[in-house]
Structure 1
């Protein structure tokens, strides 16, 4: 896999054009899976693992990677498939999600493909409720499944979803019920996390599944003569979404004079300085890495205070 990620700087030009690149890989079997290249730090042969007592079965062990001790998750086991065997022949995809670096154990890594977000579609309706898909696409006649990593991490390495009492200001909470927030996220787990966080504040929430759906919703509102910025205190949008990503959604909103004054917070597991620069480039107001309930609640509380003139 030497050189598989050696042109990341060129790939940054794709962002903001509703494009992405997927690193394709396989678990056991012929099914292809994909992960956004911007979440990948490196790909390497499975390193020597040290088993940690009392850890969940999904965590096959920890590895020392460039001086850092990282948990290595068996991605097959995490989505309900048999555990991978013969680990020495496996690969590890080192990723950064929600400001956490960890590795995903996979059988093989295939290649990187350049795609348009419009080619990334929601999971089939027949997939049921317990699936681990956030999207699907096709490449060379094969279906590519994009795993809902938010769900995997929520189950294998959960973080607290509780907002600290110190963050919930009594005055803010008393006023929160008169404000609405629009949430846009394709991950059902992420949507539920955000909704629970905002409900702790007392804010009313409208949740949509992707950027295309959100843009159509806002345009329909504007066509009726209603100003989205009057209806919603802010929009909290994921970046990675099928059909239309958060960067493109932000750009479209900013180019429509009927909604261009909406306050937009991009809330994403794609953490890093690059994304903060993209926030400015597309015209979003703020950026926050998932999922830090206190940080998210604080940003929303600040908007409530500003709206009240405090």
Structure 2
């Protein structure tokens, strides 16, 4: 199974071209799911798990892997399904989200597929139950593949703080913004609300959209009424990277290529992390890159780029 990820570090050319690679896996049953390869550190056969007292009900135990203690979350349980029964044939996907490393227990891992973000679509409106944990869907080999809202799952297990410390607050934000707003693009409702709650104490106006395509369309529509630059109406763009239809890298590149949009400062705010992503930020021209989720860092970056021409 380790060979399936051997070439991950050689695939960076896909990012920034509105493409990604999904690692396909299954929980209980025939349904296939996908996770972005760039969030995956390693895939391995499920090792011996150690039960911990007072652990969250979705955490099946901890595993000791390469000198690190990792919580193992049963993805089936966490999304309202039955627990994965046979650990002897199960796998753990070791991933990094929101500055932490965790293992996701799955029943089987299949293969990696290369796909365009435009083929990744938002889930149907009005989804409930297990379907409410979807952040996107796509079709592969004429079958539906579901992409889980991992940020929602992790937030339910271990909620992130959203309050900004007093020392990180500033009264000059509203003066700097005037009547302009901050545009927030993220496909995860949990992540959008985290940003919204964190910035509300700053007294800023915010407009929230679900993906990069919506953000670009919104900016282009606003720009039609601007004399010179979109910065007459929008003070800052805060965008996730992984989003259906158009990812944050492509959104940033489109913004920087448009004469009426290019002056807009872009903060990429993502659960992806690592040196590779810092390089991509420079490549597409974003002003800043922040790993989710630290409200103080987000507030400080907002203040910084509102003060920078």
Deviation, structure 1 residue 126: 4.2
Contact residue 176 and residue 202 of structure 1 kept, 8 A: no
Task: Map 1:100-249 to 2 at 5 A.
Answer: 100-128=100-128, 131-172=132-173, 178-225=179-226, 227-249=229-251
Deviation, structure 1 residue 303: 3.2
Deviation, structure 1 residue 283: 0.7
> What does residue 294 of structure 2 align with?
292
d(CA) in 2 for partners of 1:221 and 1:289? 29
d(CA) in 2 for partners of 1:283 and 1:5? 29
Task: Map 1:59-78 to 2 at 5 A.
Answer: 59-78=59-78
**Gap runs ≥5 in structure 2:** none
TM-score by length of 1: 0.95
d(CA) in 1 for partners of 2:74 and 2:123? 22
Task: Map 1:39-54 to 2 at 5 A.
Answer: 39-54=39-54
Q: How well do the aligned residues superpose, as a CA RMSD in angstroms?
A: 1.6
Deviation, structure 1 residue 47: 1.3
CA offset digits 1:212-250 (Å, max 9, x no partner) = 111111111222335321211110000000000000011
Contact residue 35 and residue 146 of structure 1 kept, 8 A: yes
- Secondary structure of the corresponding residue to residue 215 of structure 1: helix
Contact residue 172 and residue 305 of structure 1 kept, 8 A: no
* 1:274 paired residue among 248, 273, 276: 276
> What does residue 11 of structure 1 align with?
11
Q: Which moved more, 1:161-170 or 1:147-156?
A: 161-170
- Secondary structure of the corresponding residue to residue 4 of structure 1: helix
Number of residues paired by the alignment? 307
Deviation, structure 1 residue 175: 5.9
Deviation, structure 1 residue 85: 1.1
CA offset digits 1:40-69 (Å, max 9, x no partner) = 000001111111111111111111110011
Deviation, structure 1 residue 72: 0.6
d(CA) in 1 for partners of 2:190 and 2:214? 18
d(CA) in 1 for partners of 2:306 and 2:124? 38
d(CA) in 1 for partners of 2:171 and 2:142? 56
> What does residue 37 of structure 1 align with?
37
CA offset digits 1:76-116 (Å, max 9, x no partner) = 11111111112121100000111111100000001100000
d(CA) in 2 for partners of 1:36 and 1:78? 19
- Secondary structure of the corresponding residue to residue 71 of structure 1: strand
d(CA) in 1 for partners of 2:170 and 2:217? 34
d(CA) in 2 for partners of 1:103 and 1:201? 36
Contact residue 20 and residue 115 of structure 1 kept, 8 A: yes
- Secondary structure of the corresponding residue to residue 265 of structure 1: strand
d(CA) in 2 for partners of 1:71 and 1:230? 47
Deviation, structure 1 residue 166: 1.8
- Secondary structure of the corresponding residue to residue 144 of structure 2: strand
TM-score by length of 2: 0.95
1:24 lines up with 2:24 in the alignment: yes
Contact residue 177 and residue 202 of structure 1 kept, 8 A: no
- Secondary structure of the corresponding residue to residue 122 of structure 1: coil
Closer, same or farther in 2 for the Cα pair 1:94/1:288, shift >3 Å? Answer: same
Deviation, structure 1 residue 176: 6.2
**Gap runs ≥5 in structure 1:** none
d(CA) in 1 for partners of 2:212 and 2:234? 16
d(CA) in 1 for partners of 2:82 and 2:97? 24
